[in-house]
Amino acid sequence: MILIAESGSTKTDWRLVHPNGEISSYSTIGFNPYYISETGVLEALKNSELTTINTTVKQVFFYGAGCSTAENCLMLSNTLELFFNNASIEVSNDMLAAARATCGTGKGMVAILGTGSNSCLYDGNSISENVTSLGYLLGDYGSGAAIGKTFISAYLEKELPQEISEAFTEAYQLSTSDILNAVYKQALPNRFLAGFNLFVAQHINEPVIKQIVENSLEAFFEKNICKYSAYQQNKLHLVGSISFVYENIIIQTAKKYNVEIGEIIKAPIDALVKYHLK
Sign of CA dihedral 51, 55, 56, 59: positive
Average pLDDT over residues 126-147: 83
Banded model confidence at residue 135, pLDDT cuts 50, 70, 90? low
CA dihedral 182, 183, 186, 187 (to 10 degrees): 120
What is the pLDDT of the chain when averaged over all its residues? 92
| 100, pLDDT greater than 70 | yes
Query: What pLDDT, on the 0 to 100 scale, is given for residue 255?
Result: 96
Bridge partner list, 90 = 61
Q: At residue 86, does pLDDT exceed 70?
A: yes
What is the rounded CA–CA span in Å between residue 42 and residue 107? 36
Q: How confident is the model at residue 139 (pLDDT cuts 50, 70, 90)?
A: low
Categorize the per-residue pLDDT at 160 as very low, low, confident or very high, splitting at 50, 70 and 90. Answer: very high
Q: How many residues does the chain have?
A: 278
| Cα gap 149→5, rounded to integer Å | 28
Distance (Å, rounded) from C-alpha 121 to C-alpha 230? Answer: 10
% pLDDT > 70, the chain: 99
Task: Report pLDDT digits (tens) over 109-125.
Answer: 999 998 889 999 999 98
Q: Is the backbone of residue 124 left (phi > 0), alpha (psi -120 to 50) or beta?
A: left
pLDDT band at 182 (very low <50, low <70, confident <90, very high): very high
- The burial class, CB within 10 Å (0-12 / 13-18 / 19+), for 156 is middle
Chain centre distance of CA 65: 7
Share of the chain above pLDDT 90, in %: 77
Averaged pLDDT for residues 92-115: 92
The whole-angstrom separation of Cα 12 and Cα 2 is 16
pLDDT band at 136 (very low <50, low <70, confident <90, very high): low
Span 209-252, pLDDT tens digits: 999 999 999 999 999 999 998 889 999 999 999 999 999 999 99
- Is residue 139 within 8 A of residue 159, CB to CB? The reply is no
pLDDT of res. 51:
94
Average of pLDDT values for 45-72?
Answer: 93
